[in-house]
Structure 1
Amino acid sequence: MNSTRDFSSGQEAANDHRVLVFGRLLGAANRLEFLLGRDLEQEFGISHSLFELLLLAGRAGDAGIPVRDIAQARVLTSGGATRLVQRASVLGLIERKNSVSDARVQLIRLSAHGEDLLLKASSRHVENIERYLLDLLSPTEAEVFSEAIKRISKNAAQELPVMP
C-alpha cells in the first residue's frame, strides 16, 4: 500500500480511495466529537477538552499527571495545556501539586468534585458512544474497529513531535 502515483485530475485525486477513507475518518470523528461534546456541555457544563483532561487525570490516579504529558496527549502546546488546567482548577475539578522528585513539575489529579463529575459524565458519554458508534457495528466489527483505531492512534502518536 506504499504506492505513490501522480494524479491526472483534481477529480481523480479527490476520489482516490485513500483520500476518501481518511476524509471519512476525519468527518466521522468531527461529527462524533460535536455530538458527544455538545451533550457533555449541555448536561454537565464542561467542554469535551475539559472532559478529556478529567479522563487523563483519572487514568493517572493519585500520583497525578504532569502538565507536559497532558499537552502531549492532547496535542497542545504547553501554554494551551496550562490554560486548560487553569480552567479545570477554577471549576474545582482538579488539584495541582509539585512533584516530589522535581519541584518544577506540576502534577494534576482529580479533586473529589472532578472525580464525581467524571463518573457521571463518563456514564453519559458511554451511552452516547454506544448510540452513535458501537450499536451500528456487530460485536466482531466493533472489536476489529477498536483494534484498528488503537494501532492507527499508536502509530500517529509515535510520529508526533514533542509539543513545545
Structure 2
Amino acid sequence: MAEIATAEQAANDGLVLAFGRLQGAANRLEYILGRAIEEECGISHLMFEVLLILGRAGDAGLPMRAIAQERVLTTGGVTRLVDRMEAAGLVARDADPDDRRGRLVRLTPAGEETVVRAARLHVENIRRHFVDPLPAEHRERFAEDLKILSHAARDALPRLR
C-alpha cells in the first residue's frame, strides 16, 4: 500500500475517492428523497424513519430509548421529535406496562396512513433514483453489499445509553 505523502495523493487516493462518492451519493439521495416526502406528505425524512421504526414494532409501540438507539439519536432529540409528531397526530404515547416511569410510542391511525402514503412515494423514488441508474446485473449484489456495510458499521458503534 502506497503511503500518502502529499495533499494531491490524499485527494486522489482510490479509497478516499470511493468513500467520498458513497457519502456524496447518500447525501444527495437523502436530500432528493427526503424533499419529496416533505413536499408530498408534509413530514420530514427523519419523521418518516421513526414512523417506519414504529410500524416494525407493531401495535405495542416502543420506548423512546429504543427509537433513539435505532436512529442513533440522543433520547432528548427523540423526545423533541416525538413531541412534534404527537402534536401532528402521527403518534401517541402510552404507559409502559413493564416500566412505571416509561412511555411507549405507537402509531396513530393518521400515522399509519401517513407512513403508508410516504412509503409508496419513497419506493417509487428509490426505484427511479437509486435502482434504475445501476446496471440490472449489479442491483442485487449492491443491495447485499450495502447490508454488509451497514451491519459492520452498526456493530462498530458504541451502544447509546
Q: Structure 1: 5+ residue runs without aligned partners?
A: none
- Alignment counterpart, residue 135 of structure 1, candidates 99, 120, 132: 132
- 1:162 aligns to what? 159
RMSD: 1.3
Superposition deviation, residue 6 in structure 1 = 3.4
4+ residue stretches of structure 1 with deviation over 6 A?
none
Counting only pairs closer than 5 Å after superposition, residues 78-117 of structure 1 correspond to structure 2 as: 78-117=75-114
Superposition deviation, residue 59 in structure 1 = 0.7
Structure 2 CA distance, aligned partners of 1:148 and 1:123? 24
Number of residue pairs the alignment of both structures matches: 161
Counting only pairs closer than 5 Å after superposition, residues 1-164 of structure 1 correspond to structure 2 as: 6-164=3-161
Structure 1 CA distance, aligned partners of 2:147 and 2:103? 29
Once the two structures are overlaid, the 10-residue window that deviates more, 134-143 or 67-76, is 134-143
Q: Structure 2: 5+ residue runs without aligned partners?
A: none
Determine if contact 1:78/1:163 at 8 Å carries over to the other structure: no
Superposition deviation, residue 108 in structure 1 = 1.2
Superposition deviation, residue 74 in structure 1 = 1.2
* TM-score of the pair, normalised by structure 2: 0.94
Deviations 1:79-132 (A, max 9, x none): 111111111101000111122111233211110000001111100000000000
Structure 2 CA distance, aligned partners of 1:112 and 1:75? 26
Superposition deviation, residue 137 in structure 1 = 2.0
Please tell me the residue identity of whatever aligns with 2:18: V
Structure 2 CA distance, aligned partners of 1:66 and 1:140? 41
